[in-house]
């Protein structure tokens, strides 16, 4: 193996062994594989992990691919199920629900996106739901699943999916993977941090037993406390609670539902919302709420009332402030996971933000000089990414007609960022959707939430009017027929798991 120049970083220290810490360890062990580079992870069983974070988005599959994981094995060992999207219940108004699917609606025709044709159909008096043109939504409602199939031009080839998994089993899985690749794990609590006096860079951390762990690069995965990024470096936090007001959660597991459904459910409540995440072994439930409008005891009562299976174990309460660190990379510390920020789990984006931060770190991996321009670039891109996700989340709260509680009155009337205001105005006008800078959520996502939240555009793309009535009707009905035939060919989600990746195998 080639020897490394002095300027290369040789000691990487990760603080924290939750999802963020072990994902970082796994990716770095895979990609920075050299006998003279040491990756050490310190975690404290006494402090423990947050223990939630069980719904993902499709990009996690590329992380698994990077690590070279066998997907069935991964699903089996994490008690996972498959996820085709999220059902939002009671968000626009009580009694109404919609699914935000991972995959596309219909197909673009003559260079015009499909949703404009659906709007043409709707403006012409049709009552066909846009759901009937989205295979993921159809499959979710029917409890069916398939991985994408290699059938050219078929919607079966475009299926996008993610997973629901047990967070503690996921961290364990990542730990095994990392340790097999040489990551050293140290059990212990960091109780002191030493900085280089001239620069403020972190030099070492000290454990309760006085052991000193030195490093050149520190990855802060210590959760909400942000041990290095905040407690030591005082980086500062952008507080977004005026637009994402929920600040508490109570999580409670319950028994497994017989046939686990291939989607997450998010049900709006009077001061927040409740999640339901189906796993192979149990159901994950939780209630995200705003303490200005609801007490902890009422939040727990609401959660239990809204669960569809019996509770297992005890509830766990968590506090948070939505927002992000002013810098995610400060000096020689990069914060990942909850140490970097938290925007609440409505669209299951936190694990994804860990993944993209790891990818961005690998692209801009420093040497001991810690080039300021790379750090600024990393921080600027991270801020943009967080703001784009933030806007998408706010849309769910802002675009509501609910006026049955103080919480919803606040959300409906709150001042939102200009960036979102502009997007909403454009969509209302002519149904156009702009994907900025390769942002996480694409057209289908923005459309499904705009439409699901009851925002009706005044017009649609003028070129969607060009196709003759006969051709238009025939193409729309052919899409529906093809999509229905594809749905028929899919197997039930439960059977799919039983046959290929049951955790009881
Ligand atoms: C209510 C809720 C629901 C969520 N749902 C989702 C979801 O569905 N999908 C999603 O993508 N994300 C979700 N998230 C976010 C997700 O849980 C986190 O992004 C993910 O678990 C990463 O957490 P973490 O590793 O940053 O922190 P933690 O799990 O809190 O881990 C912190 C680690 O740091 C260690 N540590 C802390 N201090 C010290 C110390 N002094 N010495 C040694 N070790 C220390 C702890 O022992 C622990 O190992 C949710 C979050 C919350 C709060």
User: What residue owns the CA closest to ligand 1's atom 33?
Assistant: 16
pLDDT of residue 436: 81
pLDDT of residue 1: 75
CB of 316 closer than 6 A to ligand 1? no
Full-model pTM = 0.97
pLDDT at residue 437 above 90?
A: no
First to last CA, the chain: 41
pLDDT digits (tens, 9 = 90+) for 442-479: 999 999 999 999 999 999 999 999 999 999 999 999 99
Q: Confidence band (pLDDT; 50, 70, 90) for 228?
A: very high
Domain 83-163+248-317+399-505 has CATH 3.40.50.2300: no
For the chain, percent helix, then strand, then coil, each to nearest 5? Answer: 40, 20, 40
| Cβ–Cβ < 8 Å for 285, 253 | yes
pLDDT digits (tens, 9 = 90+) for 134-190: 999 999 999 999 999 999 989 999 999 999 999 999 999 999 999 999 999 999 999
Please state the domain extents for the chain.
Answer: 11-54+166-237+322-370, 83-163+248-317+399-505
pLDDT digits (tens, 9 = 90+) for 294-307: 999 999 999 999 99
Q: Confidence band (pLDDT; 50, 70, 90) for 258?
A: confident
Q: What is the mean pLDDT of residues 265-284?
A: 97
The ligand 1 atom nearest the CA atom of 286: 1
337 C-alpha to center of ligand 1: Å?
Answer: 7
453 CB burial (10 A radius; 0-12, 13-18, 19+): buried
36 C-alpha to center of ligand 1: Å?
Answer: 30
pLDDT digits (tens, 9 = 90+) for 90-112: 999 999 999 999 999 999 999 99
**CATH code of the domain made up of 11-54+166-237+322-370:** 3.50.50.60
pLDDT of residue 210: 97
Of 54, 58, 278, the C-alpha closest to 148 is 58
By annotation, the residues acting in catalysis are: 83
DSSP, collapsed to helix, strand or coil, labels residue 341 as strand
Most informative mutation of 27, 162, 209, 222 for ligand 1 (most atoms within 8 A of CB):
222
Do β-strands 97-101 and 85-89 pair in parallel, antiparallel, or remain unpaired? antiparallel
pLDDT of residue 257: 83
11-54+166-237+322-370 and 83-163+248-317+399-505: same fold?
Answer: yes
């Amino acid at each position: 193996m080639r020897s490394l120049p002095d300027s290369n970083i040789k000691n990487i220290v990760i603080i924290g062994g939750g999802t963020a810490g072990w994902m970082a360890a796994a990716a770095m062990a895979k990609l920075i594989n050299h006998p003279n580079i040491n990756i050490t992870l310190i975690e404290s069983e006494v402090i423990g992990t947050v223990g939630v974070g069980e719904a993902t988005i499709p990009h996690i599959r590329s992380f698994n691919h990077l690590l070279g994981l066998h997907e069935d094995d991964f699903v089996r060992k994490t008690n996972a199920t498959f996820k085709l999207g999220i059902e939002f219940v009671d968000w626009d108004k009580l009694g109404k629900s919609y699914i935000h699917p991972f995959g596309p609606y219909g197909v673009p025709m003559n260079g015009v996106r499909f949703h404009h044709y659906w709007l043409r159909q709707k403006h012409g008096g049709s009552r066909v739901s846009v759901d009937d043109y989205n295979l993921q939504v159809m499959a979710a409602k029917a409890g069916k699943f398939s991985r994408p199939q290699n059938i050219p031009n078929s919607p079966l080839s475009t299926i996008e999916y993610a997973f629901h998994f047990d967070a503690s089993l996921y961290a364990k899985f990542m730990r095994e993977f990392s340790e097999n690749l040489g990551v050293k794990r140290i059990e212990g609590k960091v109780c002191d941090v030493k900085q280089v006096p001239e620069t403020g860079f972190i030099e070492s951390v000290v454990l309760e037993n006085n052991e000193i762990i030195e490093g050149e690069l520190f990855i802060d995965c210590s959760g909400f406390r942000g041990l290095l990024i905040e407690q030591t470096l005082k980086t500062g936090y952008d507080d977004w609670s005026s637009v994402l007001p929920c600040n508490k959660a109570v999580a409670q597991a319950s028994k497994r539902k017989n046939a686990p459904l291939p989607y997450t459910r998010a049900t709006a409540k009077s001061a927040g919302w409740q999640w339901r995440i189906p796993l192979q072994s149990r159901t994950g439930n939780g209630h995200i709420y705003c303490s200005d409008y609801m007490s902890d005891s009422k939040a727990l009562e609401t959660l239990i009332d809204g669960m569809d299976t019996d509770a297992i174990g005890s509830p766990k309460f968590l506090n948070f402030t939505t927002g992000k660190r002013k810098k995610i990379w400060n000096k020689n510390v990069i914060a990942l996971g909850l140490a970097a920020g938290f925007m609440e789990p409505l669209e299951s984006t936190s694990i994804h933000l860990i993944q993209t931060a790891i990818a961005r770190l690998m692209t801009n991996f420093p040497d001991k000089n810690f080039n300021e321009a790379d750090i600024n670039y990393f921080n600027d891109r991270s801020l943009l990414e967080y703001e784009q996700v933030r806007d998408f989340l706010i849309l769910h709260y802002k675009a509501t007609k609910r006026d049955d509680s103080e919480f919803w009155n606040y959300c409906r009337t709150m001042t939102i960022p200009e960036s979102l205001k502009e997007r909403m105005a454009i969509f209302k006008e002519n149904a156009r959707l702009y994907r900025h800078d390769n942002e996480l959520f694409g057209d289908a996502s923005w459309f499904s939430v705009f439409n699901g939240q009851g925002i009706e555009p005044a017009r649609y793309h003028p070129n969607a009017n060009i196709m003759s009535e006969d051709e238009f009707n025939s193409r729309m009905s052919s899409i529906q027929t093809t999509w229905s035939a594809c749905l028929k060919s899919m197997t039930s989600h439960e059977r799919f798991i039983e046959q290929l990746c049951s955790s009881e195998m």
